[in-house]
Amino acid sequence: MESDNRNEIFQADYKILDAAYVVLQNMDNSNLPIKTQFEELYLGYKKLLRQSIQLINIADRQQDRLYNLQIDITEKNRELEALCITDGLTGIANRRCFDEILVQEYARHARTGAELSVIMLDVDYFKAFNDNYGHINGDECLRQVAAVIKSCTCRPADLVARYGGEEFACILPETNQGGAVAIGDNIRSSIMALAIPHAGSSVANQVTASLGVVTVNCISDGSAVDVVAKADELLYQAKLKGRNRLEFEKGSE
């Protein structure tokens, strides 16, 4: 008799079949009806055992498929979650991700007492850039700007996001005013170093950016929304004062 090592639970049945087969071979034809009945029982039992093994093997394969399907679903869910918090154009975090992380970081900094910094950044005269060079070049410009901002924020906890349109934002955990301003200045100069032509700009012949930087001491009953509002106000001041500049003011919650 052949045996299947994957189905050890049937080993006892195989032994019974082996014994029955030996008995069947040793039976003579003196009592043919009994031998015939015994042979029918033997063959029926053998067939039933084979079918049971086949069903178990099918169940095993289905279980393997189900396991692989669960892995695929888990992976797809991760990919979907990543897409939900990633900006499709630039590949960095999107507004939704920024808002969620800022709330989390604000609460964490309220517990630890560390300073939290946020940078709001706007590409200068970007509408004029699109009008002069087209939206395809405009998209490429935003991708390059996003990559530069990302390269200027090296720590794992730092977050760079596309806030909307040509506006970007950075969350800098446990970063004081001096550190945040230094990062902001590096971002501004690195964007200029891209030397992307911008004939429609009133401040330079290349793409530039204006930045607002705020540093706060978070408190338990404060709001992350207020941090963004302060950074946005400083960004507005940078635009009013001529663009291609950085404005900062140390805030407190």
Report pLDDT digits (tens) over 100-149: 999 999 999 999 999 999 999 999 999 999 999 999 999 999 999 999 99
Map out the domains of the chain as residue ranges. Answer: 5-84, 95-250
Amino acid at the residue 252: S
Q: Which of 35-44, 57-66, 118-127 has the lowest mean pLDDT?
A: 35-44
Contact 178, 91 (CB under 8 A): no
Any idea which residues carry the catalytic annotation? 166
Token pair of 249, please? 């003011």
Q: What is the CA radius of gyration of the chain?
A: 35
CA–CA gap between residue 215 and residue 227 (Å, rounded): 8
In CATH terms, 95-250 corresponds, of 3.40.50.450, 3.30.420.40, 3.40.980.10, 3.30.70.270, to 3.30.70.270
Q: How far is CA 25 from CA 29, 35, 50, 130, in A?
A: 11, 10, 21, 92
Q: CA-CA distance, 244 to 204, in Å (whole number)?
A: 8
User: What mean pLDDT, rounded, does the chain reach?
Assistant: 87
Q: How confident is the model at residue 90 (pLDDT cuts 50, 70, 90)?
A: very high
